[in-house]
A and B are shown apart, each in its own frame.
Chain A
Amino acid sequence: MGVVIGFALVLLTLAAGTAIGVRANKNVRAFNDEEHEIFVGRDDK
């Protein structure tokens, strides 16, 4: 039982990592610098 749960956890971690990577890559490709604005923030101490 421990082995099944263990490998399920490993697969879940790999799947989560892959999904995040794929999503980020999609956004990198779709990025348009024209629509981007740099964030310098503000100081509300």
Chain B
Amino acid sequence: MKNKDQQLLEDRKHLNRYGYAQELLRDMGGFSNFAISFSIISILTGAVSLYGHGLLYGGPGMMGFGWTIVAFFVLLIAASLSELASAIPTAGALYHWAASLKGTRIGWYTAWINLIGQIGIVAGIDYSVALFADPLLAGIFHYSSTDTTTLIVFGAVLLLHGILNHVGIKIVAKLNDFSAWYHMIVVAILVVSLAFFTKNGLQPIDYLFKVGQTFSDKPYFLAFLIGLLQAQWTFTGYDASAHTIEETVHPRVRAPWGIFNSVAFSFVFGFIMLSFVTLSIHDASGAVNSDNAFIYVISHALGGTFGNVVLWLVTFAMFFCGLSSITSFSRMMYAFSRDNGMPLSRHWAEISRKYRTPAKAIWLSVILSFVLALIDYITKLINPDVGYSTIAFLTAVSVVGLYVAYGIPIYLKLRAEAKGIFLPKHYGPWSLGKWSKPINIISLIWIVFICIIMVIPPNQMAAYALGGMFILLLIMDFGYYKKNFKGPQAALEKSIDEIRRLEDEFEREND
């Protein structure tokens, strides 16, 4: 058994073999690595803010069947990604895996698609915080909540997340650890309260698996598929454990467990929470027609005061979720920029000597997320009759962006294995052996399926946005990066003396 210093030395040497210096502060343990992904999945964010969406389209059966079906496939995807994280433990994660398994150009596209998904996820989460916090603050400070005030609150939340991320991984890791416990405790409070104090009693268990009832104008089967966005969006962002891999001690084992366990635990806790909330529904059509179906159900089951308390508890959970998302987003951007994959890469790859965080990448994450929501805000100002909600747009963009980025390296690993490029000796400690291939194939089938489902009407706006971004990527690629981007392979040309010199500089600054 190695002590922490020996392990840190080994981790640093392993990272050096990919041509990278240990610039970020490696201080996260296994629980912190799990906590960051668990906090981003955040059952109290996705499952709650899209509870009305799930109920509207899939009825109560969406919570029993929809949640479980999605979780089953996401577990397989998480296992596929865990293997890759264990084999190639760098912060670039999806991007670096794709680039190593096939080539720099596909790596470049993977990185950008991942970044687009990350913009969507940060914007979607912090916009959810604003949607919940703005009416609460309006009640306290006596103003009227509008789209404009929601956008202002959204900007303030992003700003606060930027500051906390800027000042260090230690405080963010502590808040993440707290967030993981916080999620579990809030779910426990909610479940116990609903189990014992629901005013009209709980519905029979059949209600949870009742299919055939939709409150939308679509046929049930199609409506059920559209409703899957609730669960599918909740189960995103668990690649954060891989993006923080260079800050994790013993990363080849802890980060894959972080990815896999965050999905597994979210499934269990989410299922329990959704079951009790759904079984306490006595007026489903009233819930789907309310501003917030989740709060409507809780308020009717436990009273308005309790509903208000739950609102605050959920808002804080979302706040923690957004905090972790920016950590993940900025690490991805930092890793991609140190290989010169973005315009002005030099800045985004810069590590703050004082805080050992990618400070400029953090602030760019904040700005890009704000801009995405701002574009949507302006679109709605120009055309107030657009037939979609901001949150559905942002979440659909993030689901498709992230899952395409998850799918590319999984596919490329299968391809590299078939070609004899990726061999059994290349697997890290966390591997699936003979199960790997079938699990990878099923994961890919689900990714293709879910990406199609997420962009059909009423979410077609997400398809247009992603299509537009992809055209922009093609222009960037053919205009500049095709010739000039060298990918992670370029880092391998760095000498060990050069890497050590850089690490020594960081060590001296921190002493």
A interface list, Cβ under 8 A from B: 2-3, 5-6, 9-10, 12-14, 16-17, 20-21, 23-24, 27-28, 31, 35-45
Contacts and interface: CB of A to CB of B under 8 A. Distances in A.
A37 B316 CA distance: 44
Given A9-B68, A21-B264, 5 more contacts: A2-B211, A6-B64, A23-B432, A37-B423, A43-B103
Given A6-B64, A44-B103, A24 B205 contact: no
Interface of B: 14, 17-18, 61, 64-65, 68-69, 71-72, 75-76, 79, 82, 87-88, 99-105, 205-206, 208-211, 253, 256, 260-261, 264, 267-268, 271, 416, 421-423, 425-433, 435, 439, 487-489, 492
B68 A13 contact: yes
Contacts of B433: 23, 27
B208 to A, nearest CB: 7
Contacts of B427: 36
Given A24-B260, A31-B429, A9 B72 contact: yes
Given A9-B65, A13-B68, A45 B421 contact: no
Contacts of B421: 41-42
B17 A38 contact: yes
B10 to A, nearest CB: 9
A36 B206 CA distance: 51
A12 B271 CA distance: 14
B432 A20 contact: yes
B338 to A, nearest CB: 16
Contact of B87 (A14, A28, A35, A39): A39
A41 B489 contact: yes
Contacts of A10: 68, 271
B101 A13 contact: no
B68 A24 contact: no
Contacts of B256: 24
28 contacts: A3-B206, A6-B65, A10-B271, A17-B75, A17-B267, A20-B75, A20-B79, A24-B79, A24-B82, A24-B431, A27-B432, A28-B253, A31-B428, A35-B425, A36-B427, A36-B428, A38-B14, A38-B18, A39-B87, A39-B88, A40-B18, A41-B102, A41-B416, A41-B421, A42-B489, A43-B99, A43-B487, A44-B102
Given A20-B75, A20-B79, A45 B104 contact: yes
B101 A41 contact: yes
Nearest to B267: A13
A33 to B, nearest CB: 8
A35 B423 CA distance: 12
Contacts of B428: 31, 36
A28 B429 contact: yes
Contacts of A41: 99-102, 416, 421, 489
